[in-house]
Amino acid sequence: MKIEWYPGHMTKASRLIADVIMSFHVVIEVLDARLPLSSANPVLKKLRQNKPCIKVLNKSDLADPDVTKAWIRYFEKENGVRALPFDSRKRSDVGLITTLAKRLAPSRCKPGFPLRAMVIGIPNVGKSTLINTLAGKRMARIGDRPAITTCNQQIDLRNGIMLSDTPGLLWPVMDDQDGAYRLASSGAIGDSALDYVEVARFTADYLMQRYPKLLLDRYNLAEIPETSIALIEEIGRRRGCLVAGGEIDLHRSAEAFIREFRGGKIGRISLEEPPETT
C-alpha cells in the first residue's frame, strides 16, 4: 500500500487517510512543539473520528518548556487524546509513547491481538525520525526536505505493538498568514518558496516581544532595536553579512537569523501559545 497525501488531491487524500486510519487502533500525530497548532492539519481530527490519538510535541528540545506544558494541558482536555513533549532523536522516552498507546487502547496488546499504531503529520515534523527511534533502527528515510515514502509494512516493536513503517503525510495548512509564517520559520515549508526577509521579520517581531532577553544575550545587544529590520541588520553586521561597500546584505542576514533560530542557537523558543494563555 502506498500512502502519499498532497495538496491538490485533498478530497481523494482525505478519503485515503480515513480508510487507512480505520485499520489502526491508535494514531500518533506528530506536531512541532514550537508551533503545535500551526503544524497540525485539522482535517485529521475529522478523519480519525474517535480513534485514540497521541499528540507527540516533537522537537521539544527546541521549544520553550513552559509553553510546551501549557500545550499539553490544552490538548489533553479532549477525550481520547494524550499529549507529550518529545525529542525524536532520543531513544530514552520511547517507553512513554508505547505505555500511552496501550492505555488508550486497553483491549489490545493481548497475544494474537497486536495494537496497530500509525505515525502521521505534516512534512518535516520528525515522523521518520520518530519511526526509526520507536523501531530502534534505521527504517524510514530522514531528511530536511519532505520525503515521499512508498512502502508500507508493519514493524513489530516486540511489546504488543505493530507500527506502520510508513508515516501518513498530511499537507500543511496555510489559511492564515501567521500560521504560514510559523511553518516557514520552523522549516516545514520548502526553502525555495520562502521570502527569507519576510519570514525573518515575522520571527524577529515575535522574539522581540516574547523573548527579548534571549536576543540580547545571543547577539550581545545593549537594547532591542526599534524595528525587526533593524534587528536583522544588527544580526547581519555581527555575522559579517555584508555586500561590497560595507552595506548589510539583508537577505543573508535574514538567512543567518533563521538558521540560528531553527538550530536552537538563540534559545528554547515557542512561536505560539495555546488560546487560553494568550
Ligand X SMILES: Nc1nc2c(ncn2[C@@H]2O[C@H](COP(=O)(O)OP(=O)(O)O)[C@@H](O)[C@H]2O)c(=O)[nH]1
Residue 93: contacted member of Mg ion, ligand X, none (CB under 5 to 8 Å, by partner type): none
- The 3-state DSSP class for residue 165 equals coil
**Which one, 130 or 241, has the nearer CB to ligand X?**
130
Sole window of 87-95, 126-134, 155-163, 263-271 interacting with Mg ion (rule: CB under 5 A): 126-134
Which residues fall within 8 angstroms of residue 221, CB to CB, at 6 or more apart? 215, 234
What character string, x for contact with ligand X (CB under 6 A) and - otherwise, covers 79-98? Answer: --------xxx---------
Choose among Mg ion, ligand X, none what residue 41 binds, the Cβ cut-off being 5 to 8 Å by kind.
none
String marking each residue 23-62 x if it binds ligand X according to CB under 6 A: -----------------------------------xx-xx
Tell me the closest approach of the beta carbon of residue 22 to Mg ion, in angstroms: 23
**Binding partner of residue 236 among ligand X, Mg ion, none, CB cut-off 5 to 8 Å per kind:** none
The dihedral built from the CA positions of residue 38, 42, 43 and 44, taken in this order, carries a sign that is positive
Q: Which of 61, 118, 109, 53 is nearest to 89 (CA)?
A: 61
Sketch the per residue contact string, 91 through 130, with ligand X: x for CB under 6 A, - otherwise: ------------------------------x-xxxxxxx-
Task: Pick what 106 binds: ligand X, Mg ion, none; C-beta below 5 to 8 Å, kind-dependent.
Answer: none
- If binding is defined by CB under 5 A, does position 43 make contact with Mg ion? no
Report helix, strand and coil shares of the chain as percent, to nearest 5: 40, 15, 45
Q: 139, 126, 232: which is closest to 187 by C-alpha?
A: 126
* Residue 9 CB partners (closer than 8 Å, separation 6+): none
Whether residue 38 contacts residue 182, with contact meaning beta carbons closer than 8 Å, is answered with yes
Residues in 135-154 at the binding interface with Mg ion, rule: CB under 5 A: 147
Using CA atoms, how far apart are residues 111 and 272, in angstroms rounded to an integer?
43
Residues 6+ apart with CB under 8 A from 116: 23, 24, 25, 26, 108, 154, 161, 162, 163, 164
Please give the Cα distance from 208 to 33 (Å, whole number).
20
Task: Kindly tell me which of 87 and 272 has the beta carbon lying closer to ligand X.
Answer: 87
Q: How far is the CB of 106 from Mg ion (least distance, A)?
A: 30
Sites of contact with Mg ion (CB under 5 A): 128, 147
Sites of contact with ligand X (CB under 6 A): 58-59, 61-62, 87-89, 121, 123-129, 142-144, 146-147, 167
